[in-house]
Structure 1
Amino acid sequence: MPGHRRPPLLDLLFLLGLLALPVVGVAEAPAPQPLFRVSADAGFAADSAAGKAVPNFRDKVALVAGGRHGKAIQWEDDGVLAWDAPGNLYAQRGTLAFFWRPRYPVGEAPFVIFRAGYADHSSWDMAWLRIDWNGHGFDAFVTDANLARTRVSFALDAAPAPERWMHLAFGWDETRGVRLYVDGREVAQVDIGTSAAGRAFLDYDAALDQFGLAGRVLSPHQVQSRYNFLRGSDFDEIRVYDRMLDGAGVAALAQLREPA
């Protein structure tokens, strides 16, 4: 009825009812989940793995003392070491991190440090993700469904000493972009801009086959380090997570701690 007002007592009862409702807090995001970890302290099999833990390819690699923590993987120039990707690496988003040292002096010649390959693709080397020494620092990229590579680069002030352990981490998320970290510090990034419609993303989703150490090609039909793709190095504490870690999480990994 026009002009009719609810009695003040009803307003008071309604307000008291709202105050009596349970307070629902904002749920905390779950901690980052490790999908894959190789400490190299007891062998080449993963200490923990959401997929297959045993290497799919292994040749001319050895466990050596003097790792960043415990033992390390020594990868010879023409060696290979690869693990199956399904379950151990998500294409849509994730973080790959490890300790790395050159073992002998680096120069201007670029070489592959780490790679992940497609299960089926038209490119000859089937490279979906790669981290490289580019002659003056590091490159990292991940490939989208249109074959465009979201790439970042970082130049070092001086070449790393052969025996110096460095921590490298590369994160990707098809709704956010990519991040490159060196020794726990973010050094390069590509952010995905917002479209006129208010949202934008890249399509990183793909069937992945393997990931690991292979200089020339890592694919379902061959895994090899050959020809001018010959350059080994050393690795320790290889880890893969289910999402792009934040800066604090990567900094923790660089200090041999777990990300929160």
Structure 2
Amino acid sequence: MISISIRRKHISVACLYLAYIVVACLFVLPMLYMFVSSVKTDAQIVEDMSTFRAFIPSGHISAENYSAIIGKVNFFKFFKNSVVVAILNVSLVTILNAMMGYALGLLSFKGKKFMISFIIALAIIPTESVIINRFMVALHLHMLNSYAGLALPTVGYPMFIFLYYNHFKGMPRELLEAAIVDGETYNGIFWKIMLPLSKPVISTVAIMGFIRSWGDLLWPTLVTRDETYRTLPLALRALSTDVYIFWGQIFAFASLMTLPVLIIFILFQKQFIQSLAMTGIKG
């Protein structure tokens, strides 16, 4: 009887790990396909597309696709634009949304419950439904075709505010009360006490904000007028024409776009996972 119970337990564990492997493959295999295809010719990509060879470096392997996008699309110019926009956006996203979350999570003021409900409601509204209004504001502020126009209008994000709100709401109020007794201002409490204790959630918001800014296509399409300030997602469109689609170059371009996101996530994955366990994402 005991052996049967142990056997069933082992089977259930094996099935669970098998499910984990299947889910992991759903995320890993498309990325593997992208990196492998980036070193193949267009003809080789089409030939291998319906076979297992699509996931292994077979046939003629070279770095010609990478050389082509660096010379043809001027990759590093658009890379610089994306980096500048991402740094500006992430810097403001992590601080300004933290200020809002700090006020909602720890301070008491009239209309607080309404503001929390309003922010939650905003989180479910699609960006596309308000993007024209955002564009009109940027237009009247003369922010089109500039780094400021690309980064500033997307700084406020309800989901990030909600993450900070849940984080600060869980902080011991004794810290706030002790600091007030010591004569510290609310502004000083935020910068000297609360923000240094918020590294996990700051890392989470920074990673999510970077991914959001790095891969954004719709907003840069609206606010840029020439190649001076265009970002990587816009440059990727140049590799697809009505006559021919340069599959190898597209995969090479996408691979170079993906690497910074992977590196950042690998470096900060510990803080990211820790924050998911501490904040309101878990419900």
Q: TM-score w.r.t. structure 2 length?
A: 0.21
Pick the structure with more helix per residue: 2
Pick the structure with more strand per residue: 1
Q: TM-score w.r.t. structure 1 length?
A: 0.22
